[in-house]
Amino acid sequence: MSEIVRAPEGTIVIFVLGGPGSGKGTQCNKIVEDFGFVHLSAGDLLREEQRNPNSKDGDLIKSYIKDGQIVPMEITVKLLSKKMQESKSNIFLIDGFPRKLDQAEYFGKNVVEPCLILFLDCDKEVMKQRLLKRGETSGRIDDNIETIEKRFKVFKEESLPVVERYEKEEKVRKIPCNESVDEVYLKIRSIIEGLNK
């Protein structure tokens, strides 16, 4: 796997954060359609790496995901950095990362500081119902009630402090996400359209 490389000057990174099932992937897909940013889902990259029979990290990744725990950051940051290096774009939506304070520090120091955090704020019960429904067809090893509960705990204890960290830097836009996909997206679109105004 390639090494972690600092992003070139002018690279713009938006972190899309929120609890499991808050709609990060769904909303990122809509942003990509309208704005053409490059969407990197840390979870998707880890799942792809886990499926790669040549990866030395596959078994480790699988055990962390199945248990709803956070994979050691060197693995995730390498995957993100590789995709960024391969891309011709300089605007990235990074979904579901950073999940811990040390990951936020590490990425900022070694890759790039984000300019904006979109925080998708959704009620736990709403997220749980979405994930259970998704689990009927997703095939994800973590879309089951036992792992979902663990993911909620990890999100509250480890990942919410990341949002609080960026709130101190006034980089966070909080978006209520209990409503329909289109209602949520209208709010997100207006935030993105307002950038640089």
Ligand X SMILES: Nc1ncnc2c1ncn2[C@@H]1O[C@H](COP(=O)(O)OP(=O)(O)OP(=O)(O)O)[C@@H](O)[C@H]1O
Contacting positions for ligand LLZGTKA7 (CB under 6 A) = 20, 42-43, 46, 64-65, 68-71, 76, 96-97, 99, 142, 151
Site for Mg ion in 16-75 (CB under 5 A): 24-25
Residue owning tokens 């209208």: 186
Q: How many CB atoms lie within 10 A of CB 181?
A: 12
Is 165 known as a binding-site position? no
Residue 114 interface partner, choices ligand LLZGTKA7, Mg ion, ligand X, none, CB cut-off 5-8 Å depending on type: none
71 carries a ligand binding annotation = yes
- What does the buried/exposed string (b/e) look like for 133-162 if buried means 16 or more CB atoms within 10 Å of the residue's CB? eebeeeeeebbeeebbebbbebbeebbeeb
**Which of these, 177, 181, 189, 172, lies nearest to 19 by C-alpha position?**
177
CA 185 to chain centroid:
17
Q: In angstroms, how far is the first alpha carbon of the chain from the final one?
A: 39
180 is in the binding site of which of ligand X, ligand LLZGTKA7, Mg ion, none (Cβ under 5 to 8 A by kind)? ligand X
Secondary structure of residue 14 in the 3-state scheme: strand
Smallest distance, Å, CB 181 to ligand X? 4
Q: Which does 76 bind (CB under 5 to 8 A by kind): Mg ion, ligand X, ligand LLZGTKA7, none?
A: ligand LLZGTKA7
> In terms of CB distance, is 57 or 143 closer to ligand X?
143
Nearest distance from residue 83's CB to ligand X, in Å? Answer: 17
Helix (H) or strand (E) holding 172: strand 172-176
Residue ranges that bind ligand X, judged by CB under 6 A: 18, 20-26, 43, 96, 130, 134, 180-181, 184
In the bound state with Mg ion, the residue whose beta carbon lies nearer, of 25 and 58, is: 25
User: Rounded to whole angstroms, how far apart are CA atoms 191 and 195?
Assistant: 7
**Assigned token pair, 45:** 């990259």
C-beta of 48: minimal distance to ligand X in Å? 14
Q: What tokens appear for 163 in the block?
A: 């949002």
Residues that bind Mg ion (CB under 5 A): 24-25
Binding residues for ATP: 21-26, 134, 179
Binding residues: 21-26, 47, 69-71, 96-99, 103, 134, 140, 151, 179
